[in-house]
Amino acid sequence: MKKKRESQNLSVEKKTSGQIPADTRRTAISLVINSIILLVIYYSAMGLGNLTLQYTVMIIYMVCFGGFLIAYIIYNRAFSRKNITPEMLPDTWTDEQKEEYILDGKRRMKKSKWMLSVICPFLVTFIAEALYLFVWKGYLEQLFI
């Protein structure tokens, strides 16, 4: 009975036209807030002017981003259980083993979703820094100098 409820909970949510599901809305708000927080912390530390602090903050950000990304990939077993059908699994397995294998992959994806709300803001921070360094900095210097 418990397995049946879990499979129902992991099924794709039905969307009504024009409405965004509450879970998607919550995730989007979380991503925006986390991105703003990380951008403020990063650029505040970079603005202090101490070169050693800037290198330290950049290294800490890179290590945190890499750590979360590797943890996400390892926890989800390199996404090897994504889009698997029972026909793709060994014939020697019982139907219960096949279903448990597929449900475990879905459970892992759902449980690790919170890591994406940390990984994506780190990515946004690095993209913003790259845009500033390679696109905007030269343009802004030419504009104001």
Could you give the CA distance from residue 123 to residue 72 in angstroms, rounded to a whole number? Answer: 14
Q: Which distant-in-sequence residues (6+ apart) come within 8 Å of 43 by Cβ?
A: none
Give the residue ranges of DSSP H helices in the chain.
2-9, 22-47, 51-75, 95-111, 113-131, 137-144
Domain ranges of the chain: 24-76+112-144
Cβ contacts of residue 123 below 8 Å, gap of 6+? 65
Please tell me the predicted confidence (pLDDT) of residue 20.
Answer: 82
Copy the structure tokens of residue 55.
């290198």
pLDDT at 1: 47
DSSP string, 105-122: HHHHHHHTHHHHHHHHHH
| Mean pLDDT split into 10-residue runs, the chain, 145 residues | 50 60 87 94 85 88 94 86 85 90 88 89 91 79 70
Does the reported pTM lie above 0.75? no
Q: For residue 22, what pLDDT is reported?
A: 83
